[in-house]
Amino acid sequence: MSESNMPVMDRDDSHGWSSRTAFVLGAIGSAIGIGNVWRFPFVCYENGGGAFLLAYLIALFTAGIPLLLLEMGLGHKTLSGPPRAYGSIKKPLEWLGWLAVLVGFVLVCYYAVIMSWCANYFVFSFDLKWGDDPAGFFNKFLNKSDPTNIFSLGSIIPGILIGLVVMWIWVVLSIWKGAKTVSKVVYVTVILPWLILIIFVIRGVTLPGAMDGLAFYLTPDFSKLLEPKVWIAAYGQVFFSLSLGFGIMIAYASFLPKKSDIVNNVFIIALADSATAFVGGIAVFSGIGFLCHQTGSSIDQISGGPGLAFVTYPAIINQFPFAPQLFGILFFLMLLTLAIDSAFSLLETVVTGVMDKWHISRATANIGIAFIAMLCGIVFTTQAGLYWLDIVDNFNTNFVLIIVGILEAIAIAYVLGPKKLREHVNLTSDFKIGVWWDWIIRIVVPVVLIIGLGWAMYITINEDKPYGGYQSSAVFVGGWGLLIILPVVALILTVLKSKKQS
C-alpha cells in the first residue's frame, strides 16, 4: 500500500474498489433500494402527495447533499468505518459511529423481511397468485393478527421466514470478499432495475384513471406544509434513501482511491437516487389512480402504509396485455436486485466497523452479524410483524436516524471544524465546494433538524392516540425504547476494549 499520511489507519488494499465507476455504482446501489419504489411512494402518499415532493426537495438540498458530502469526505479522509472515523476526530465520538451503525442494523433487520415479501411475490408471479384482488391477497398473505393486542405475535408465517433465510444467505455471499465482489455485483443490480422500472411507468401511466393518481402526486397542497410531520417524514426519507446517518457512505468512501472526485460523485449519487424515487412514485401513483378507477373509491380511501406497493404493482402487472407473469417475475426480481446492494452495504459497514476495532476475520464478522440480524428479524415474520415493522420503521427512521444526523453535523461543525473536511474534499474535486457548506453544517442542518425533531416528538407525545393507534405499551417498547436502547448499546460497544492488530 502506498504511504499514508495517517499511519494509524490501516486499510487493506485488496478490499478496495476495482474502479471509480464501481464505487459510484456501489454507493448508488446502496442509496437506490426498495426505499425508492416501496417506501418513498407510501410516505409521499401519507403526507399529502405533491406537498411532500416539495418538502423532499428542500430536505435534499438543505441536509441530504451537504451531509452526503460530509460522510464521503470523512470516510475518505480517515480511511475508516464509522466508529473509528468519528473516534479519530475525538475518542468519545466513537460512540456516534456505533450509534449510526446500530440504527442501520435495526433497519436491515426489517429491510430483509421486506426483501422476503418481494421474494414471495416473485414466486407468486409465476401464476399471478393475487388474482383480481391484490389488496385482499396481501392481507391474506400477511394473515395479520389482532391490531389491538400486538404483543400476541401469533404464529410465524412460514413463507416469509424461508424467504428471510434465503435473503440473508444471498447477502452474505454478495460481500464475501469485500468491495471487490461488490464491484462486480453492482453493475447488474443497478442498471437492470432502471430498465424494468421504465417499462412499468409506461404501462402505469397508460391505464385508465392513472391521471387522477398522478394529479394527487404532482399537485402540491400547500396547507400540508404547515404540518411538522410532513417535514420530518421528508427529512427521514431523504436520510433513509441516501443511506445517510448509517455510516454506510463513510465506510464506502474509505475504500475509495486517494484521488477521487468526491463532490462530483456526491451529486451523481444524490440526483440518481432522487430521480429513481420520483419515477417509482409515478408508477405507484398511476397504479393508485387505476385502482380507484376500478373500485370507484377516491384517492384518499386507498389504505397506505408499508403494504401499498404490494397492492399497486400487482394491479399494474395484471394489466399487461401479454405475458403478465413475465412482467411480474421481472418486476420482483428488480426489487430484489435493488434491495440486495442496500442490504449488503450495511452489512459491509458493520463488518468494517467490527474489523477495524477487533481485527477478527472478515468471514466470522460477516456470518456472525448476518445471523444475529436474521434472528432479530424473525419478529417481523409473525402475524403481528407488520405492526411492529410500522412502529420500528417510524421511530428508527424519523427519530433516531435524525438524531444521528444532528450529532454528526455538530461533531464536524464544532469539534473537527468543517473547513478541514471541506479542504480535504476540494483537494481532489474539480468542482470546489465553498464556505456556504460550512454554514449549512454549522447552522442550517442542526437548527432545521432539531426544530423538526422536537416538534414531531412533541406532537407524537401529545396526540390523543399513540402512534398508529397501537397500544401505548407497544409503541413504548418498539418505538421510544429504541431511543434508549440504541445509545446504551453504542456506549457498551465504545467502551469495550479493542484488540490490537497482532
Closer by beta carbon to ligand TRP, 370 or else 416: 370
Give the three-state DSSP class for 214: helix
Work out whether 276 is an interface residue with ligand TRP (CB under 6 A): no
**Residue 96, strand partner residues:** none
CB of 69 to ligand TRP, least distance (A): 17
Question: Residue 52 in contact with residue 44, Cβ under 8 Å?
Answer: yes
CA gap 380, 359 in Å, rounded: 32
Instruction: State how far the Cα of 52 lies from the Cα of 47, in Å rounded to an integer.
Output: 6
**CB-wise, 183 or 274, nearer to ligand TRP?**
274
Enter the C-alpha cell of residue 149. 393486542
Binding residue (CB under 6 A) for ligand TRP from 246, 252, 285, 470: 246
DSSP 411: I
Residues 95-114 that bind ligand TRP (CB under 6 A): 104, 107-108, 111
Of 215-223, 237-245, 356-364, 467-475, which part binds ligand TRP (CB under 6 A)? 237-245
Stretch that binds ligand TRP, among 217-225, 238-246, 307-315, 448-456 (CB under 6 A): 238-246
Among 26, 35, 353, 446, binds ligand TRP (CB under 6 A): 35
Quick check: 343 binds ligand TRP (CB under 6 A)? yes
Closer residue to ligand TRP, CB minimum distance, 31 or 74: 31
Asked whether the beta carbons of 208 and 291 are under 8 A apart, the reply is no
Min dist. Cβ of residue 343 to ligand TRP (A):
5
Beta-bridged to residue 382, according to DSSP, are 156
Task: Give the 3-state secondary structure of residue 359.
Answer: coil
Tell me if 34 contacts ligand TRP by CB under 6 A: yes
For ligand TRP (CB under 6 A), the number of binding residues is: 18
Asked if 33 is part of the footprint of ligand TRP (rule: CB under 6 A), the reply reads yes
Least Å distance between CB 345 and ligand TRP? 6
Q: Residue 65: CB partners within 8 Å, gap ≥ 6?
A: 266, 267, 270
Minimum distance between the CB of residue 36 and ligand TRP, rounded to whole angstroms? 5
Place of cell 405499551: 473
Q: How far is the CB of 45 from ligand TRP (least distance, A)?
A: 16
Which among 312, 244, 241 has a CA at the least distance from the CA of 45?
A: 312
User: Which of 24, 346, 407, 416 touches ligand TRP by CB under 6 A?
Assistant: 346
State the DSSP string of 435-498.
THHHHIIIIIHHHHHHHHHHHHHHHHHHSSS-GGG--HHHHIIIIIHHHHHHHHHHHHHHHSPP
CB 303 within 8 Å of CB 225: no
Contact status: 145 vs ligand TRP (CB under 6 A):
no
Longest alpha-carbon distance in the chain? 69
| Minimum separation from the CB atom of position 318 to ligand TRP (A) | 25
Take residue 491 and report the three cell numbers written for it.
456506549
Which span sits near ligand TRP by CB under 6 A: 216-224, 243-251, 450-458, 484-492? 243-251
Residues lying near ligand TRP in the complex (CB under 6 A):
30-31, 33-36, 104, 107-108, 111, 240-241, 243, 246, 248, 342-343, 346
